[in-house]
Structure 1
Amino acid sequence: MKISKVIVIIQQFAAIVIGSMLIGFGINGFLVPHHLLDGGIVGVALILHYYFHVQTGLCMIVLSIPLCLFAWYLERNYFFSSFHGLMVSSFFIDWLSPLQSQFPLPILVSSLLGGVINGVGFGLMLRFETSTAGTDLIAQMLSKTFTLNIGVIIFLIDGLVAVLGFQALGFKSFFYSCITIITVGVVTSMIVKNNDQSHNY
């Protein structure tokens, strides 16, 4: 195995671990205390967590299985890079659940901080061509097919999840969840866009 290949694997592994820790920290520390949503599969898993008190990370794994199977048949490179991200991020989301009572901040501050931290986590993983699977996996494939910014695609998908959560969580949670989702989309887009620009030089 070439040294350059080993370096890429190490970088991707580090991105998965650090990105997953940030996502687990952002979700448990800032979103869950106010019943806020992120987008995509994470948002759906959070809705299930709020209503049925099931583990968010475990829900992510179950919900992502159909998408992972789809990726297995369509683009196996995406499957392998995303599967590891899914398992590690799900682990950290559930493992860091004790943080849910550690940061009693106002809802606006929590929605912004949660959005920034999650955006950095998702962006870092996408920058090194991995993800948490789920809708990120769809976004990766759409981005490659139509040459669209992946952060924008994630933002649109996440917006749909927020709309779905409106009836379940009420207007207040919906409004601040939208702030979180927009923040995640902007931060993710900036990180991935900067990476794309660096490859052009």
Structure 2
Amino acid sequence: MVKVIVIFSKFIATIVGSMLLAVGINAFLVPHHLIDGGIIGIALILHYYFHVQTGMTMLFLSLPICLLAAYYEKAYFLNSLEGLLVSSLFIDLFSPIRSQFHATTLESALLGGIIIGIGVALMLKYETSTGGTDLLARVISKTTSINIAIIIILLDGLIVMAGFALFDLKSFLCSCLAIVIVAFITSSIVKNEG
């Protein structure tokens, strides 16, 4: 019975966390061409320039990382795969809300960062995630003994620098703000709840 409750709780956390992620991305980041870190950031850059679906792109970009992780971290791979599939689906399903909110770029960076941070933290609290660079960082950390936080910062930093080369200064700075807020909210909630 306890195992059923744990599985159900993880499923609900994945659904709610993915919905929050989808709202944060579609309602606040996309309308102002802001990016997030990780695979989501790469998927957003590709969306802005090639008009591809963000969630589907995120899924395709994450699959090779998931296959690599399956070799090193089977349990975490399965949890991340579930989170990846659900969040990718919700990001694309929620795309119609992109024109529903009318916030400034700064307000969107703040609100988007908060909402995405809560969604990511909820998923992490129940040991699931969207996979992507966090999963890659986990594998690299495990195989090299480099601190996972340093690896995540380096990977996200590369993606943000790509954003700097592609976007105007305002979008770049607001994207950096959103990423910092996501990290702060996520670490605060996971630390306080863990």
Fold-level match, TM-score > 0.5?
Answer: yes
Q: Deviations over 1:77-106 (max 9, x none)?
A: 111000010010001100000111011111
Using the aligned pairs only, state the percent identity: 56
1:93 maps to which of 74, 91, 94:
91
Larger displacement relative to structure 2 (75-84 or 141-150): 141-150
Confirm whether residue 159 of structure 1 aligns to residue 147 of structure 2. Answer: no
CA distance 1:87–1:191, change in 2 (3 Å)? same
Q: Is the 8 A contact 1:159 1:178 kept in 2?
A: no
What is aligned with 1:124? 122
Q: Quick one: which of 28, 31, 34 aligns to 2:29?
A: 31
Q: In the superposition, relative to structure 1, how do residues 153 and 115 fare at CA in structure 2: closer, same or farther (>3 Å)?
A: farther
Q: Any stretches of 5+ residues in structure 1 without a counterpart?
A: 197-201
Q: Is the 8 A contact 1:155 1:185 kept in 2?
A: no
Q: Cα distance 1:153–1:186, how it changes in 2: closer, same or farther (>3 A)?
A: farther
> Contact 2:72–2:139 at 8 Å: present in 1 too?
no
1:169-184 aligned within 5 A = 169-184=167-182
Distance 1:38 1:50 in 2: 13
Task: Check conservation: 1:119, 1:188, Cα contact below 8 A.
Answer: yes
Report if the CA contact (8 A) 2:19-2:90 is conserved: yes
Cα contact 1:142–1:148 (8 A) shared by 2: no
Q: How many equivalent pairs are there? A: 193
Q: What is the letter of the counterpart of residue 168 of structure 2?
A: G
With normalisation by structure 2, the TM-score equals 0.92
Q: CA-to-partner distance for each residue in 1:39-71, whole Å, 9 max, x for gaps? A: 100000000000000000000011001110111
Indicate conservation of the 8 Å contact 2:21/2:91, yes or no. yes
What secondary structure does 2:102 align onto?
coil
1:79 equivalent in structure 2: 77
Tell me the secondary structure at the aligned position of residue 104 of structure 1.
coil
Alpha-carbon spacing, 1:143–1:128, altered in 2? closer, same or farther (3 Å): farther
- Structure 1 residue 156, shift from structure 2 partner: 4.9
d(CA) in 1 for partners of 2:156, 2:118 = 16
Whichever residue aligns with residue 68 of structure 1, its letter is C
Query: Structure 1 length as normaliser, TM-score?
Result: 0.89
Aligned to 2:17: 19
RMSD across aligned positions (CA):
1.9
1 CA distance for matches of 2:14 and 2:133? 16
Tell me if structure 2 keeps the 8 A contact 1:81–1:130: yes
8 Å CA contact retained: 1:24, 1:92: yes
Contact preservation (8 Å) 2:38, 2:134: yes
Shift of 1:158: 2.5
CA pair 128-119 structure 1, distance change in 2 beyond 3 A: same
- Partners of 2:165 and 2:54 lie apart in 1 by 20
